[in-house]
Amino acid sequence: MSGTYDPGPQIAQVGGINLGTKNLESSLWFFRDVLGMEEVLRDGQTAYLRGYQELVHHSLVLTEQSDAVVNSYSLRTQRPEDVELFHQHLQRQEIDVVELPSGREAGRGEAIRFLLPGGDHPFELYYDIEKPLAIESLRSRLPSNSSRRRGLGVRRIDHFNIQTDPGRINHAERWVRENLGFKRREFAKFADSETIMASWMSVTPQMHDLAIVANSLEKSGQLHHVAFNLENFSDSLTAADVLRDLDVSYGTGPGKHGIGQAMYLYVHDPGSDHRVELYSGGYLILDPDWEAIEWKPVDFPEGLTWYGDPIDTVPGSRGRDTTNSAPLRPDSLAS
């Protein structure tokens, strides 16, 4: 059947995020020196980083610019041809799409860019990405690691948590599921309403690769946080102790989510003030017939916080101006 069956274009995983920062050196101190990510490349005012178990070129791009906004959220496709197939699919829906040439983001092949319908978040889809070796002094003897574990031990990017206005969240959440193939895993609705309050979705066995939440200020294009993965609960507690001593701005945690059952620690990048979650544990979904779990409003607080400090639901940062609901041209992106 492998020669005849074609499932169509699919998303394989969360690929990366491009964060604008007003102070690149402060952001590099945080992500590279404290969290332990590897700086793979510096290109002018842009730095490319990865966790110690990421073999690909990067999962984090830091771009020094006047506005500390999210420049892009990247998703990797299952196959090279899926980029073009998604392009055609978006065009059939009359969604504006921008083609990004190979190398526009260092180490990455051709990509397409569009604004999430109902959300206005700048999404980029790609497949090809380089897999460079770390410099010899950083290499691990474990071939599944791109480098030795350092700092607080960030392994990889884990997920995005984005926000849009309540009036369009149902459209945005449904579009992600119906067009990008994300599966709803856990969710909540507003009381006495069919409006989604929050939905956790994935394309991998993780409980979520992407969460979408109704913004309490009725704004769209917002980032609540980007999460990076630590190996275990103990690492989260160590991170809390270390970051507190370094006077890194805290959000909440450490604590445990009821939804997803992972331990959280929310802190802020000192160079940009973007909210970063250090995320560990959680469960995997292996059942092909998984039924999405609904959290009723009365139980929802325990879903966010099983134990620990209550989660701050105010957005952490915004995307680029999307007033005209059209993606930015390649030459208008920060470089």
141-193: per-residue pLDDT in tens?
A: 999 999 999 999 999 999 999 999 999 999 999 999 999 999 999 999 999 99
Residue 324 lies in a domain: no
Counting the structural domains of the chain, the total is 2
Residues 269 and 250 in one domain: yes
Residues 108, 129: contact at Cβ < 8 Å?
yes
Q: Which of 210, 209, 211 is nearest to 196 (CA)?
A: 211
* Burial of residue 247, with CB atoms counted within 10 A of its CB: 0-12 exposed, 13-18 middle, 19 or more buried: exposed
- pLDDT band for position 323 (cuts 50, 70, 90): very low
Taking the C-alpha atoms of residue 159 and residue 227, their distance in angstroms, rounded to an integer, is 5
Residue 1 lies in a domain: no
Q: 289 and 258 in one domain?
A: yes
Residues 145 and 176 in one domain: no
Domain assignment present for residue 6? The answer is no
Q: Tell me which of 325 and 101 has the higher pLDDT.
A: 101
134 and 173, same domain (yes or no): no
Whether residue 62 is found in the same domain as residue 210: no
Does residue 330 lie in a domain region?
Answer: no
Answer yes or no: do 104 and 160 share one domain.
no
In a domain, 327, yes or no: no
Q: Are residues 96 and 212 in the same domain?
A: no
Same domain, 224 and 303: yes
321 or 59: which leads in pLDDT: 59
Q: Look over the chain and give the mean of its residue pLDDT values, rounded to a whole number.
A: 93
| pLDDT reading at 49 higher than 80 | yes
Write down which residue in 151, 169, 197 finishes a domain: 151
Are 197 and 270 within one domain?
A: yes
Domain for residue 325, yes or no?
no
Is the domain of 139 the same as that of 189? no
SS3 for 209?
A: coil
> Does 210 share its domain with 117?
no
User: What is 321-334 written as a DSSP string?
Assistant: --TTS-PPPGGGS-
Residue 14: its pLDDT value, please?
Answer: 98
Residue after which a domain boundary falls, among 97, 122, 151: 151
Query: Tokens 């209550």 map to which residue?
Result: 310
DSSP letters, 218-285, are --SSEEEEEEEE-SSHHHHHHHHHHHHHTTPPB-S-SEE-SSS-EEEEEEE-TTT--EEEEEEE--B-
Do 178 and 10 touch, CB atoms closer than 8 A? no
**Does any domain span residue 203?**
yes
Is 4 inside a domain boundary? no
* Residues 265 and 275 sit within 8 Å (Cβ to Cβ): no
Q: Do residue 180 and residue 39 come from a single domain?
A: no
Domain boundary, last residue among 119, 151, 183: 151
- Which CATH number does the domain housing residue 304 bear? 3.10.180.10
Q: Which two tokens stand for residue 132?
A: 């460079």
pTM of the model: 0.94
Residue pLDDT, tens place only, 204-229: 999 999 999 999 999 999 999 999 99
Full residue range of the structural domain in which residue 190 is found: 156-318
- pLDDT higher than 80, residue 335: no
pLDDT greater than 90 at residue 317: no
Cα angle, residue 263 at apex, residues 262 and 265 outer, rounded to 5°: 135
